[in-house]
Amino acid sequence: MKIQAFNVYHLSCTLDYTAWNSVTAHPTRPALVVEVVTADGISGWGSASGGARGGEERLAAAAELLPGRDLRDWGGLLARLTPVHGRGRNAVAAVEIALLDALGRTLDMSIAQLLGIQRDRVPAYASGGYYYDHLPNRRDLLRQEIADARERGFRYYKMKIGRSTPEDDLDDIRAALNAAGNSMRVAVDPNCAYSYPVALEVGRSLDDLGVLWYEEPLPKRQLDAYRDLRGKLELPITGGEGYADLGEFQQALAARAMDMVQPDLSGAGGYGACLDVAALAAAHGAACFPHCWADSLHIVASLHLLAALPTSLGIEFGVPPLLEYDVTENPIRMQLLGGEPPVDADGYVAIPDAPGLGFDVDRAALAKFAID
């Protein structure tokens, strides 16, 4: 099970229209894809959401460390690659996914089986509702995205808020809820845009509207404000996608700042780190729904993580942990695996039972979106 080569692919695509959350413009969708090749010619694939993002040093270290090593020593190899602090953990996560993909393919086991699979399918939510400068009124977009999501089988939808005035955003939310009707639930995400007074004002309206959850209303380290907000609102308060160290999750959970934490498989540092976060959440009586806004390879990798999460997490929401499934424009997501994982009529995505990730990367797409 010798590793023969380690390859890195930096990808990017330019969007037809720049997508905005509350504070950040996304004119492009970058991606980092890594490949571990064994001496038997088996390729294992991994990706990091948002590209390398400061992980170049870790990628260089992987390129030096991995060739010639035994794939079965993946845990020790990752320990040597993982930085003490958060910077570069996203790149290490991509390496971990690729190592487990290659190991699963070698052993004829899925990554979910390697991690300890607990379910054979997971419910998903459609993640969209961005702002676009060419659409001063996005309500038609929200209605169309919700209609399309319902047609695909989704039962949950998440939209962005925080870039417009609270009054305009609340009108948008009402339009989304009306479009969703009784067949879908709607969550909202301000991406840390609000001050405490605004977050509380908006949150009280969200309580009245019956929104599913309120994601990252405040800057991520304002834990006292999060705790106070949580104490004054009924709907669940969530966050944590920007945390890179286990200690950050521990601080948030110990502070009783959130009802649900959302580690990103890439940003938090990989499968082991996310399973540690899930255990912490369970110990503190909180839910754990991983964050995922990335290419299709990362969606599939997150799908395997969700398959291994404890079934008790999220029961206060009436559902097991949900897969975040991006539905915004992203040609890399659409083409990297030759398509997207299908959503069934009940809004679930099946856990692949093929070896490794269960999907193969389209090398033509790698070449198409490659950047220097």
Report the distance separating Cα 3 and Cα 40, nearest Å: 9
For residue 117, how far is the Cα from the chain centroid? Answer: 19
pLDDT at residue 77 in the model: 96
Per-residue pLDDT of the chain (372 residues; tens, 9 = 90+): 899 999 999 999 999 999 999 999 999 999 999 999 999 999 999 999 888 888 899 999 999 999 999 999 999 999 999 876 667 889 999 999 999 999 999 999 999 999 999 999 999 999 999 999 999 889 999 999 999 999 999 999 999 999 999 999 999 999 999 999 999 999 999 999 999 999 999 999 999 999 999 999 999 999 999 999 999 999 999 999 999 889 999 999 999 999 999 999 999 999 999 999 999 999 998 999 999 998 999 999 999 999 999 866 665 666 678 999 999 999 999 999 999 999 999 999 999 999 999 999 999 999 999 997
Per the CB < 8 A criterion, the answer to whether 298 and 49 are in contact is: yes
Strands annotated E in 174-242: 185-189, 214-215, 237-239
Query: For position 62, what pLDDT does the model report?
Result: 96
Around 125, how many Cα atoms within 13 Å sit in the side-chain half-sphere? 25
- Kindly report the number of other CB atoms within 10 A of residue 38's CB atom: 19
Report how far residue 294's alpha carbon sits from residue 47's, in angstroms, rounded to the nearest whole number: 9
The CA–CA distances, whole Å, from 362 to 247, 291, 335, 368 equal 37, 24, 7, 10
Residue 291 among the catalytic residues: yes
DSSP state letters, 35-75: EEEETTS-EEEEEEETS-TT-HHHHHHHHHHSTTSBGGGHH
CA-to-CA dists, residue 140 to 21, 101, 150, 151, 179, angstroms: 17, 41, 15, 16, 10
pLDDT of residue 278: 94
End-to-end CA distance of the chain: 31
Cα 355 from Cα 198, distance rounded (Å):
48
* Euclidean distance between CA atoms 281 and 270, whole angstroms: 17
- Out of 10, 85, 291, 304, pick the active-site residue: 291
Q: What are the residues facing 215 on neighbouring strands?
A: 238
Distance CA 187, CA 125 (A): 9
Complete DSSP assignment for 303-368: HHHHHHS-TTTTGGGTSSPPEEEE-S--HHHHHTTSS-PPP-TTSEEEPP-SSBTS----HHHHHH
Contact 93, 46 (CB under 8 A): yes
Query: What is the chain's length?
Result: 372
**237-239 and 260-261 beta bridge pairing:** parallel
Q: Which residues of 85-122 are buried (b: 16+ CB within 10 A; e: fewer)?
A: ebebbbbbbbbbbbbbbbbbbbeebbbbbbbebebebb
Complete domains list, the chain, with CATH: 3-108+363-369 (3.30.390.10), 114-350 (3.20.20.120)
Return the structure tokens found at 131: 């702002």
Residue 321: per-residue pLDDT: 87
Q: What is the pTM of this model?
A: 0.95
